[in-house]
Copies of this chain bind each other. A is one copy, B any other.
């Protein structure tokens, strides 16, 4: 106990960062505060992440997988053909439940977008939106229908957590309204 070496500081830093961003916002994340929460000097963090951007990239990667997991889970509970609607709604739901984590995934100016595992995680996420069956191999470009679905869902998520809809739709019936909105998309999502 209370050993000099923490044991799993890199993971602990991510945990602390996750807590901190949901508390104070993604932009206000501070390495020093994360380190202090763990009981370690801020310099220790730089042994595991060469700079703040690398920490945020790791956080974004983990968040992307969390999100993909949540979506996958909801997809498995749903009939194959009604997949898109539930997938889209759980995409939005994750964003609303974990706004800062969601932001961390797409805030490329804060992260190293070329990072391999980050790209992998976001590719997985994107593939989930491109309707259930479409298992894209790498070089094949996204289809029109998939882009339409993804951008609509992504737009709803962004507008929701950015507060731009607050004067229009109350939080209570937001998801219901979103469901109806997404249902409209159905007819034009044919391949």
Q: How far is the CA of A109 from the CA of B164 in the complex (A)?
A: 12
Please give, as numbers and ranges, the residues of chain B lying within 8 Å of A142 by CB-CB distance: 165, 168-169
Chain multiplicity (copies): 2
A contact set with B: CB distance below 8 Å = 25-27, 106-110, 113, 119, 122-123, 126, 141-142, 144-145, 147-148, 150-156, 158-159, 162-165, 167-169, 177, 180-181, 184-185, 187-188
> Which chain B residues border A107 with CB–CB below 8 Å?
162
* Complex contact A109–B26 (CB within 8 A): yes
Contact between A106 and B158 (Cβ–Cβ < 8 Å)?
Answer: yes
Measured between alpha carbons, how far is A180 from B144 in the docked complex, in Å? 8
* Top-7 shortest CB links A-B: A155-B155, A151-B155, A154-B155, A142-B168, A151-B156, A152-B152, A25-B109
